[in-house]
Structures are given as structure tokens and as C-alpha cells.
Structure 1
């Protein structure tokens, strides 16, 4: 019997389809690569920059990646995202520094259990430095999480 995953990898079978949406928050180089690569992975991709309008409708098939933690509107954007039943939400940033989103959300009165839904750091620890590498690590982490895998080289 052929392994279904191998059949898909060799182009002998169609990949199972499911609705998945990736929302990149804040326009920039990382967001561009993130959306480009995510489309290749089968995500419906959406760029959201608060200066250009309101959030699209988000649901339990949506992963949200905030690509800039230095923006003044970080707290408001996350508060609004957390009002939806998104599957996953994360903020990019250096894990050696405290996440500014925590204090911003506290100041807006967001409950601790909602703040705990926000992942940081995000992505696999592969030493990413450039926007394409950061996007790749982020998507690999999302896929690992979606597939209930630890990521890395542990099988």
C-alpha cells in the first residue's frame, strides 16, 4: 500500500484541501515574503495594515501573524484580532526582549487569558535574519503547530 503522503509528494495524488487563511498584519518586507510563500502552501492570504482599513472577517481557520512589534497601534490591532475565534495569533520579535504587546493589551483592559493566546516568539529557531528566512521559519512553525508537531528535527 502506498503512503498517501508520499503519493502527494510525488504528484501522484491531490493534496487534501482545507480552507486556511493567513493574515499578515502590517505591510513590510517580511509580510511580502510571508504572503508569497503562504499562497504556495495553500493559504488564502490577506495583508492587513490598520492605516488602510479595518480587519477582514476572521474565523477558526485563520492564522494571524503580526510582522512588526514596534508599531504604536500594536495593542489595538491585537485586541481586535483577539475578539475573533482565530486558530492562531503571533507577534514577531526578538525572544531576548520582552514582548511589548503584553503591556499594550493590559493597558487596553484585555483579560490575561486572551493575552495568553498571543504567541511570541514565533517560527522555528533556525537563526533567521533576512525577511525571506523569517517568513520561512514562521510558516514552518505554523505548519508544525497546525499538524501538532514540535518542529525541528524531532519526529
Structure 2
């Protein structure tokens, strides 16, 4: 029997996992890379931005399908004034995972924004920050790559640590 990974290395199509949705929140450079790369990795992707001038098509979680139990929500801008409301709405849905970009050396602005909206601390704690694997990301493409790598590791039941560790 041939190793399936070996076949993929030689050009045979791998079976893509079904059902996983990636909701990129806020039209940003990182979201742009996620939109381009996520389908190749087996994610159905949706861009949600509450600002209708940005033309995202999806303005709120209420515009998404009812079943989001397999959705990963990635907030790609932590400076937007709608941050608290969008996260509150994401946490109110049965999404699988919620994460916000940001510097791990500082408390994220989402903590105060959610507290001001009356979101209980145990719900605020569901928000992952920073997101992705620690690869020293600096550019939008690197941040998107690290985010997708972390989500793939999670989807595949792996830690995301280097091989052999």
C-alpha cells in the first residue's frame, strides 16, 4: 500500500476536508491573503465587514448561515471601532474558534471593548490572541500563513510544533 502523503507529493489530489468555514472579519491586507489562500487549504471562506462602503457582501453574523459550528472566526484588524460588537456577535454564535490578531506583549483592545459591552469574562477568555503559529510574522502574507498553519494544525489534531519535538 502506498503512503497517501507520498501520492500527494507526486501530484495526486488529496481528499479535502469538508465543512470547515473561515470567517475573515474586516477587509484588510491579511484578509486579502486569507481570501486567496484558504480555499487551496480546504476552507470555505467568507469576508465579513460591517462597513458597507468596503463592499464585503456580508455585513454581520446574522447574514451568515445558521450553522457555524465548524467556523473559525479570524479578526484581521484590532483597531476598528466595531471590534467589540463584532466579537460579541461572534461569541454569541456557536462558532468553533475565535481569534484576534495582535501583539502578545500587550493586552488586546478586545478585552476592554467586550467588558464595556457586558460580555462575561469567561466568554472574553474564548478569544484567542495572538493567532497563528509563532514564526515571527511581520507582513500580511506572513500573518495569514501563520494563522492558516495554526488552523491546519488544529484541524489535523496536531500541535503545530516542529517535527521531532
Deviations 1:106-135 (A, max 9, x none): 111112221111100111111111111111
| Alignment correspondent of 1:85 | 94
Q: How many residues align?
A: 155
Moved more, 112-121 or 52-61: 52-61
| Maintained 8 Å contact 2:16/2:42 | no
Whole-Å separation in 1 of the counterparts to 2:77 and 2:16:
32
SS of corresponding position for 1:63: strand
| Alignment correspondent of 1:50 | 50
In the alignment, structure 1 residue 133 sits paired with structure 2 residue 139: no
| Maintained 8 Å contact 1:8/1:15 | no
SS of corresponding position for 1:23: strand
Q: CA RMSD in A?
A: 1.6
SS of corresponding position for 2:51: helix
Which runs of structure 2 are paired with 1:1-155 in the superposition (5 Å)? 1-12=1-12, 14-52=14-52, 53-55=59-61, 56-57=64-65, 59-155=68-164
Whole-Å separation in 1 of the counterparts to 2:18 and 2:154:
16
Whole-Å separation in 2 of the counterparts to 1:140 and 1:79:
25
Residue 154 of structure 1 and its aligned partner are, at CA, apart by 4.1
Moved more, 121-130 or 106-115: 106-115
Whole-Å separation in 1 of the counterparts to 2:14 and 2:34:
24
Task: Between the two structures, name the one with larger relative contact order (CA 8 Å, sep ≥ 6).
Answer: 1
SS of corresponding position for 1:72: coil
Residue 6 of structure 1 and its aligned partner are, at CA, apart by 3.1
